[in-house]
Structure 1
Amino acid sequence: MKTTHFHTCNLCEAMCGIEIEHRGDEIIAIRGDKDDPFSRGHICPKAVALQDLHQDPDRLRHPVKRTIDGWVPISWDEALDETARRLHEVQQRHGRNSVATYFGNPTAHNHGALFTLLQFQQALHTRQRYSATSADQLPHQLAAWQLFGNQLMFPIPDIDHTDYFLVIGGNPLASNGSIMTVPDVKNRFKDLKKRGGKLVVIDPRLTETAAVASEHHFIRPGTDVYLLLSIIQVLFKELLVAPGKLDKLLDGKSDLQKLTENWTPEKVTEAVGISPEAIRKLARDIAAAPRAAIYGRVGLTTSPHSTLSAWLVYVLNIITGNLDREGGVMFSKPAFDIVALGALGGEAGSFDRYRSRVHGYPEFSGEFPVTTLADEMLTPGQGQVKAFVTHAGNPVLSCPDGGKLDTALEGLEFMVSIDLYINETSRHANIILPPTGQLEHGQFDPIFQAVAVRNVVKYTPPAFDKPEGALHDWEILNGLATRLKRLKAQTRRERLQIAASDRFMRRIKDTGIIDLGLRLGPYGTGGKVMAALKKDGLHTLPQQAWKLLRGKQKGLTLQTLKDNPHGVDLGPLQPALPERLFTRDQRINLVPALYFRALQGLPVPKTPKPDEMLIIGRRHIRSNNSWMHNSQRLVKGKGRCNVLIHSQDAERLGVVEGDDLVLSSDAGSITLPVWVADDIMPGVISVPHGWGHDRQGVQLDVARRTGGASINDVLTSKRVESVTAMAQLNGVPVKVEAAAKPKPKPRSKPKKAVADA
């Protein structure tokens, strides 16, 4: 019998509602959910790939252990017991910081993993913590913490009401938004234009978003900071700074003016690649727009000066009066308030409390940048990383110097991966712990609901029953955390507390935490409990939880969401300041000391050397993460892992469409076919990330047959961002040359016939 199930696609940030038609475990069709109030029936090609991922024969369905005879299945108890024991033994021998952890992008899409991540980290008690954050959005989090007092206080473009939308280094039509959850963005752009608004894109490439923009400017990769400084200089020079109602909350405006007064359009034009007239027009258009929103993303936040660039994007919104106003950038009011709960748990943000062992890189929010991970494994001495834990991550393909990290993983004493696949990273693991698949657990998005362009909330139960003997991510992490704590416990009281914590988590489950968070949120009725938590700390939550969950179901609860399978629209973003500020004085300091110091040392921009080409990444709507390449629906058609190059550069290098180019740097070299088009700035090349699945031992059949190479094999970990030392992935100079073409074999002369004797 056919059954229809309403779910949420969890393959990118858009949270598109989907309708899954299935017969038992067989998926018949996946369509957009027209009754979802947020996505409005929209889906992109990734959603239909959920069928491939659910039925993938390469997907692991039970724990496996690597032996000299290959991978062998083991029981969950054996897998969890041995993992905890081996990690504990490494820490006993080499110290607590000898174990490192890495959490990948999909962790943020899994509420169960998010809810148990902290207790697992606390059980390990290591400073060697890493994640995809430092190869992606760290500068946004740092700026949010410095300006607004909380690393998750992201100002979100009110795209549905703005009159002028400026996008720098982002491509929402390919990404469906990023730190701006915005499904059906194509139609939202159309609505923007219909009401007389403008979409302006600044990018080294004519992206899918730039192609539909009202205006597009090429910019030399890595120079966003100089453009932003120049725009702000023009605003001050021409008396266009007008914070409006925010003025009474601001400090540091005069400091900002002094710091930017010398960054004139004429000073930066050669390096940036945009004329002084165009820079001035950008500044004037922003100031003149009734409602404007400035948005910067990955191209900007993985550049040489991304810390300053992300901060200046927020500052530009503030000084033009576009923060906390309709049609500008605003703060969400999420039903599950991870911002407030994070602050209660001491997770509001931190920077440079301590530094990494090898390079002395600063921590951010308890994590080191991935640029030092391989060297922490390879460099001998006290504190050397000897064991490694990954969750939903493939840093060999997603972090710079992938080849070096590949080598480093081979020398570890122990490694465990919580992952669905044997990929380029997990192939080095001693044990792999596969959780349930995307459609076998419920879906709730506390992070992406908090960065959505409308206030929305939705929970969807599993589309399929959890397979017998399988474990969810939260059960795996809770199981490991409990075992590690038991091994470290020294008193009976500690053991009793560990047992009580384990019972609490097993009893409340992931759904209980969702329900609890909703009741504690702004649409629930847990105000008194929230006040008590603010007073006594988040550690008192278990004592408060049962009382709240057993109370009458008033306000928003999990049951409300179960009764509304398409989701609940809580309305447009609303002004929230100063009440929503987490700064101590509920004011905004425009120029925190961190940025003041960084600006003092900012060098005068230089144009690239004649023999250099700057490499940038490239997003495609069918490709978000490396593990999606094992879906035939997503990789079919013309190959997409190639080098996009301008026709002028192709002619100079003597290559034509389809020829091979060799890209090389201190990190290594890769060879890829050429794609010639004038959709990119001369002197710049573009290569997508996440490809290159031909390493020995990878068990991803479809992905291995797609070809390609990893861009991170030529991006060196030595080239880091100037303040945080995070990964620099865009605007990196590389050597580019035509691959040697094989010489044609000489045609052999026909042999003369030999006469019979």
Structure 2
Amino acid sequence: MDNGIHYRTCHLCEAMCGVAIEVSDGTIQSIRGDDQDPLSRGHICPKAVALKDLHEDPDRLRKPIRRTDQGWQEMEWDDAFRLVADRLHKTRTEYGRNSLGVYLGNPNVHNHGSLVATLPFLRALGTQNRFSATSNDQLPHMLASLEMFGHQILFPIPDIDNTDLFICIGANPMASNGSLMTVPDVRGRIKRLQDRGGKLIVIDPRRTETGKLADEFHFIRPGSDALLLMAMVQTLFDEDLVNLGQVERLTKDVDLLRLAALPFTPEAVAGHTGVAADQIRELARQLARTRKAALYTRMGTSTQAFGGLATWLAYCLNILTGKLDTPGAMLFSQPAIDLITLGAMAGQNGHVGKRFSRVKGLPEFGGEYPASTMADEMLTPGEGQIRAFVTVAGNPVLSNPNGKRLEQALSGLDFMVSVDYYLNETTRHADVILPPTAALERSHYDLIFSLFAVRNTAKYSDPLFDAGPDSRHDWQILLELAHRLEKHRQGGRLPLRSELGWRAFKQLGPDPILDVLLRTGPYGANTGRLRGLAEPAVDLVLDLLPPRNPLRGLAKLSPLNRHWQALPKGLSIAALRDNPNGVDLGPLQPSLPDRLFTRDGMINLAPRRYLQDVERLHRHLVQPVADELRLIGRRHVRSNNSWMHNSHRLVKGKDRCTLIIHPRDASRLGLQAGDSAQVTADDRQIVVPVEITDEIMPGVVSIPHGWGHDRPGTGQSVATSHAGASINDLLSDQQVDPLIGTSVLNGQAVAVKVWRPERHRKPA
């Protein structure tokens, strides 16, 4: 690797911050923000400097390892591939294709190579027992986008750089740098909003880091967001504040939503939400009367018992007040590689409920079952029971509800393989671990988060370090396993054409595919004089072909389409190499109706799936408010997922894995700051230090996500010395949003009491 400054994108969260990494003699000397990055403009958070720790981590695995009676032993790559493919094929042959299971973790979406290789790998596995972090995260947003706009990843993005009112519910972008809203330097953007006379409103059970910046803050009881949002909808209709603006002609079923909202008056929901009726009305009025406004919700609203309804209603509020497809409000991105349109061309808009899980009968979404039922599918005998399992860049023991039950399930498998470079709380149950290269040893392009960014940009980086000949990228691992599994399925030999295709794919890798997608996308080829001839041909294709013909999709996406004529042109990997800081492709712009993928070209404001679930919300409304402590999670700017806890820079300082509790509740329970608290839910319990603050709502307690590194047999020395406790050891995997199967991670009831070690000491 050449000495000097190298420009990349930090991959440790969704923000896509540009970094300038100084390298000398093969070692990272410094990491700072890239002032020339068009999206982050020099901003980085504390996680970025930990890129050095993660790259140099001595605990990171470099070669495959295999579990033996004598402990873990290193293997050669070819032996490891042969063993894994043979065992997976053997299980599939004996018990059927659904005896295999697979789980994909969040880091995969930061890795374009892994994304490209995942599809052929899943196809080669052939199982319906697929899981991912989706159902513990953004699944309600994907469902709402599919039902309302016709595509599962067509998310409306807040135009935060131009808005005058930003309402943030159940989200903490100061800690997350945005989520399904890629937005580096949130503090700076909020300050600029306020400097131009704008307003930030935050609604949350805890006065978060974002809440502390708010011009207006409201506490809300966990799990009641759907009631608040429905009451805001009712207010809009009741006070004649509905004005859909330019999407009115594209929107149907407004009256159905009006009827559904009738019982949910602000007075009716105030007791459940903890938000006064007059405050609810004023929130609706402010959203309706501010021309440039955006309402944004995230994890706190989506991962709860009514998360599906809450997310849908947030979309509805933006639409009813004319805040969709409007500058300063909610807009759709137009990335350089438009996976949304490409997916639609291939018939991959998304789907839900094509089949249901074997044990709980939960619906699949996009081919995946909810992760909360993984343990059920492993522990319950019968046809389709998972007997062999694959994890790719995931640690569900710490990120999935009821982690201890999942541990029990993993320990009983016939075979397990993990593609991961850490021996962690999940991979310690594997028979074989296949470690991929680290992020700085592979090229980088953000395929996914460019879809969610508050500004259209593009950036490519070559590998910063040479991984060495005895290493494999994750895409190489997945493709090699897929190739071998396909050979097994075909009796040990593939047709010559297929064999040559596999070999070419493995030889070329993902970057040539990336280059083709850049060149043929809306910012791609610049044909100069030929444009005058090509544009009429594209127009003819669009006029003559039926709406769902794939060639029509290609013509629509082509850089020769007149629709894209004002956009910058000439993107390719070579062009991005010439612009290592990234390329600014411009602000988000109105894009409807072209960006809609519904069959009738209309926004479906009141999908029947949601209207039916409103009955469940009404049943909840007429029940008395339960007098129980409710648990919520939280996130810190130094922590994204569990795998970051092996960086000493990210875990140093005061203990962040604490129970946050209000002074009134602490006094009632006899808790003092610094005490250890025993937190229980049914037969599950953990012990955590107590932190007392009035920045949390009475009746609510909070524990952060991603800790619990006290399991034996792991290989992360820094994480083990800062173990903390796992909130998911408390949470039940039986509590899901029945609308779609999303895990209830916020709002479960818990009991808290002082923990005295002497009471729990075993007799001598």
TM-score higher than 0.5 here?
Answer: yes
Structure 1 distance, partners of 2:263, 2:470, is 65
- What is the DSSP-based 3-state SS (H/G/I as helix, E as strand, rest coil) of the residue aligned with 1:446? coil
Query: What value does the CA root-mean-square deviation take over the aligned residues?
Result: 2.2
Structure 1 distance, partners of 2:116, 2:683, is 37
User: What is the aligned partner in structure 2 of residue 609 from structure 1?
Assistant: 626
1:186 aligns with 2:187: yes
Match of 1:663 among 679, 687, 699: 679
- What is the DSSP-based 3-state SS (H/G/I as helix, E as strand, rest coil) of the residue aligned with 1:559? helix
Structure 1 distance, partners of 2:498, 2:412, is 33
Does the C-alpha gap of structure 1 residues 554 and 248 become closer, same or farther in structure 2, counting only changes over 3 Å?
closer
Contact 2:19/2:33 (8 A) holds in 1: yes
User: What is the aligned partner in structure 1 of residue 292 from structure 2?
Assistant: 291
Contact 1:667/1:715 (8 A) holds in 2: no
Shift in Å at residue 535 of structure 1?
A: 4.1
User: What is the aligned partner in structure 1 of residue 479 from structure 2?
Assistant: 478
Structure 1 distance, partners of 2:711, 2:277, is 48
Give CA deviations for 1:524-550 in whole Å, capped at 9, x if unaligned: 23999999997458999xxx9xxxxxx
Match of 1:573 among 581, 588, 601: 588
User: What is the aligned partner in structure 1 of residue 531 from structure 2?
Assistant: none
Contact 1:105/1:393 (8 A) holds in 2: yes
Match of 1:731 among 705, 729, 747: 747
> Superposition pairs for residues 49-198 of structure 1, below 5 Å?
49-198=50-199
User: What is the aligned partner in structure 1 of residue 600 from structure 2?
Assistant: 585
Give CA deviations for 1:10-54 in whole Å, capped at 9, x if unaligned: 000001000111113311111111111110000000000011100
TM-score by length of 1: 0.94
Structure 1 distance, partners of 2:636, 2:475, is 31
Shift in Å at residue 342 of structure 1?
A: 1.7
Does the C-alpha gap of structure 1 residues 268 and 743 become closer, same or farther in structure 2, counting only changes over 3 Å?
closer
- What is the DSSP-based 3-state SS (H/G/I as helix, E as strand, rest coil) of the residue aligned with 1:352? strand
Does the C-alpha gap of structure 1 residues 585 and 737 become closer, same or farther in structure 2, counting only changes over 3 Å?
same
Contact 1:486/1:498 (8 A) holds in 2: no
Q: Which amino acid aligns with 2:705?
A: H
- What is the DSSP-based 3-state SS (H/G/I as helix, E as strand, rest coil) of the residue aligned with 1:601? helix
Structure 2 distance, partners of 1:716, 1:590, is 33
- What is the DSSP-based 3-state SS (H/G/I as helix, E as strand, rest coil) of the residue aligned with 2:439? coil
Does the C-alpha gap of structure 1 residues 230 and 288 become closer, same or farther in structure 2, counting only changes over 3 Å?
same
Contact 2:345/2:553 (8 A) holds in 1: no
Does the C-alpha gap of structure 1 residues 518 and 594 become closer, same or farther in structure 2, counting only changes over 3 Å?
same
Shift in Å at residue 513 of structure 1?
A: 1.3
1:685 aligns with 2:701: yes
Contact 1:482/1:498 (8 A) holds in 2: no
Structure 1 distance, partners of 2:415, 2:303, is 31
Shift in Å at residue 347 of structure 1?
A: 2.3
> Superposition pairs for residues 412-451 of structure 1, below 5 Å?
412-451=413-452
> Superposition pairs for residues 318-337 of structure 1, below 5 Å?
318-337=319-338
Does the C-alpha gap of structure 1 residues 399 and 663 become closer, same or farther in structure 2, counting only changes over 3 Å?
same
Q: Which amino acid aligns with 1:465?
A: D
Give CA deviations for 1:474-515 in whole Å, capped at 9, x if unaligned: 1111111111111101597x5334313313313432111110
Structure 2 distance, partners of 1:513, 1:675, is 50
User: What is the aligned partner in structure 1 of residue 756 from structure 2?
Assistant: 740
Structure 2 distance, partners of 1:539, 1:520, is 12
Structure 1 distance, partners of 2:43, 2:570, is 29
User: What is the aligned partner in structure 2 of residue 719 from structure 1?
Assistant: 735
Shift in Å at residue 227 of structure 1?
A: 0.3
Q: Which amino acid aligns with 2:578?
A: D
Does the C-alpha gap of structure 1 residues 211 and 539 become closer, same or farther in structure 2, counting only changes over 3 Å?
closer
Give CA deviations for 1:713-751 in whole Å, capped at 9, x if unaligned: 010101111311221000110121111353899xxxxxx
User: What is the aligned partner in structure 1 of residue 265 from structure 2?
Assistant: 264
Match of 2:659 among 623, 633, 643: 643
1:621 aligns with 2:637: yes
1:280 aligns with 2:297: no
> Superposition pairs for residues 220-259 of structure 1, below 5 Å?
220-259=221-260
Shift in Å at residue 57 of structure 1?
A: 0.5
Structure 1 distance, partners of 2:159, 2:415, is 47
TM-score by length of 2: 0.93
User: What is the aligned partner in structure 2 of residue 753 from structure 1?
Assistant: none
Structure 1 distance, partners of 2:742, 2:676, is 31
Q: Which amino acid aligns with 2:469?
A: E
Give CA deviations for 1:214-257 in whole Å, capped at 9, x if unaligned: 11100000000000000000000000000011111111001010
Structure 1 distance, partners of 2:595, 2:702, is 40
User: What is the aligned partner in structure 2 of residue 634 from structure 1?
Assistant: 650
User: What is the aligned partner in structure 2 of residue 509 from structure 1?
Assistant: 509
- What is the DSSP-based 3-state SS (H/G/I as helix, E as strand, rest coil) of the residue aligned with 1:13? coil
Contact 1:392/1:419 (8 A) holds in 2: yes
Does the C-alpha gap of structure 1 residues 330 and 668 become closer, same or farther in structure 2, counting only changes over 3 Å?
same
Structure 1 distance, partners of 2:99, 2:553, is 27
Structure 2 distance, partners of 1:351, 1:671, is 39
**Identity %, equivalent residues:** 51
User: What is the aligned partner in structure 1 of residue 715 from structure 2?
Assistant: 699
Match of 2:613 among 598, 604, 621: 598
Does the C-alpha gap of structure 1 residues 744 and 100 become closer, same or farther in structure 2, counting only changes over 3 Å?
closer
Structure 2 distance, partners of 1:397, 1:579, is 41
Contact 1:424/1:698 (8 A) holds in 2: yes
Structure 2 distance, partners of 1:507, 1:346, is 28
User: What is the aligned partner in structure 2 of residue 347 from structure 1?
Assistant: 348
User: What is the aligned partner in structure 2 of residue 317 from structure 1?
Assistant: 318
Q: Which amino acid aligns with 1:366?
A: G
Contact 1:18/1:31 (8 A) holds in 2: yes
Mark the runs of 5 or more structure 1 residues left unpaired by the alignment.
545-552, 746-757
Structure 2 distance, partners of 1:596, 1:12, is 35
Structure 2 distance, partners of 1:667, 1:521, is 54
Name which of structure 1's ranges 673-682 and 346-355 shifts more when overlaid on structure 2. Answer: 346-355
Structure 1 distance, partners of 2:37, 2:323, is 29
1:709 aligns with 2:710: no
Structure 2 distance, partners of 1:298, 1:367, is 20
- What is the DSSP-based 3-state SS (H/G/I as helix, E as strand, rest coil) of the residue aligned with 1:439? helix
User: What is the aligned partner in structure 1 of residue 400 from structure 2?
Assistant: 399
Structure 2 distance, partners of 1:534, 1:60, is 47
Contact 2:271/2:625 (8 A) holds in 1: no
- What is the DSSP-based 3-state SS (H/G/I as helix, E as strand, rest coil) of the residue aligned with 2:743? coil
